[in-house]
Amino acid sequence: MRAARLHGARDVRLHEEPVPTPASGETLVRVAAVGLCGSDLHWFEEGGIGGATIKQPIVPGHEFAGRTSDGRLAAIDPAIYCGLCLPCLEGHPNLCPSVRFAGQSPDDGALREWMAWPAHCVVPLPDGFSAEDGAMLEPLGVAIHAVDLAHVRTGDTVGVLGCGPIGLFCLQVAKAAGAARLVATDLPSRPHRLEAARALGASVFPAEEGREAAAIRGAVGGLGLDAAVECAGTQEAVDAALEAVRPGARVVLAGIPSFERTSLRASTARRKGLTIAFSRRMKHVYPRAIALVESGHADLRRVVSHRIPLADVAQAFELAASRQGLKVIVEP
């Protein structure tokens, strides 16, 4: 089978490798669709993420779906939790310190034709779902968890700062959670993202190194946003989120920064009495994600802009890194 391995920054190569043999409790999956995530791009562009670096060639890819060896179309949860630690037992498996994760050493991810993965991570898809849809349930799940942390209430005005695929899904989930008004920001050099947010019903504001916060407060009336979800992974977006919300609001930091530290303007956060939460992946949300899609409250397909075969995986990474489109799907 063919597998794409990342050897270092901007160094992804195709290899011929044996089809894996499933261990006890594992299922063999023929991978059909893999989304390239922002975290994958950190590995590709920087050769690492959050202090971790590539120590040996790794197969990336954790947003994926395929067919099991018995023919079932399924989405695959990329996280293997221990189920025994305190976070797992308290219902927070996304915080499991022993978690194994597809595409994160030592576990190869999904950018290959076949993979063996624990059967309990296999999520059968309902009729009408494609493999591409199944792959997009993972980023939708990340958005569900982030919006959960924002405590969105019926009638709230919610801002999403950074309108890549996760941000666009956050807008959809916030609306489904009861938000009456949506606000979105992204760089003016990415007008396609602003237009995608506008098409979802958001009032859009080009990001101006945090200065857009004043325009947002003026536009929404009152004292500012009721909640904000930062999805850009930049200091400027964090600053704008804190400035754009009202006193007593919640700010969720879901973006993954390229740097090791995120700063908060303490005077702003303290005087407003803000609650600031950091969002880590997702937890037990596949059933909810599927229900949102089946009910029409989430549209998985509108965030996909490119579909590229595994043979052109290097091109797929370069395209995703250019941020010219939205979600790039690789089809093994």
> Domains in the chain and their CATH numbers?
2-124+300-331 (3.90.180.10), 141-278 (3.40.50.720)
Q: Which residue has the tokens 């197969």?
A: 59
Q: How many CA atoms lie within 13 A of 160 on its CB side?
A: 33
With cut-offs at 50, 70 and 90, classify the pLDDT of residue 48: confident
User: pLDDT at residue 141 above 90?
Assistant: yes
Q: Across the chain, what does the average pLDDT equal? A: 95
Q: What's the alpha-carbon Rg for the chain, to the nearest Å?
A: 19
CB count, 10 Å around CB of 260?
7
| pLDDT band at residue 281 using 50, 70 and 90 as cut-offs | very high
| Residue 260 pLDDT level (bands cut at 50, 70, 90) | confident
Question: What does the alpha-carbon distance between residue 312 and residue 93 come to, in Å, rounded to a whole number?
Answer: 35
Q: What is the pLDDT of residue 210?
A: 87
pLDDT band of 136, cuts 50, 70, 90: very high
The mean pLDDT value for 172-201 works out to 97
* pLDDT confidence bin for 49, thresholds 50/70/90: confident
Beta carbons within 8 Å of 70's beta carbon, 6+ residues apart: none
Q: What residues form DSSP beta bridges with 227?
A: 158, 250
Residue 259 reports pLDDT greater than 90: no
| Contact between residue 239 and residue 267 where contact means Cβ atoms under 8 Å apart | no
Average pLDDT value for residue range 171-200? 97
What's the one-letter identity of residue 254?
Answer: A
Both tokens assigned to 125: 């898809």
| Confidence label for 201 from pLDDT (cuts 50, 70 and 90) | very high
Confidence of residue 241 (pLDDT cuts 50, 70, 90): very high
Q: Residues 6 or more apart from 226 whose CB is under 8 A from it?
A: 152, 153, 156, 157, 158, 245, 246, 249
SS3 assignment, position 24? coil
Cα–Cα distance measured from residue 14 to residue 5, given in angstroms and rounded to the nearest whole number: 6
* Residue 327, beta-bridge partner list: 304
Looking at residue 26, its pLDDT comes to 97
pLDDT of residue 211 exceeding 80, the answer is: yes
Per-residue pLDDT, 55 = 85
Lowest-confidence pick of 177-181, 202-206, 265-269: 265-269
Confidence of residue 52 (pLDDT cuts 50, 70, 90): confident
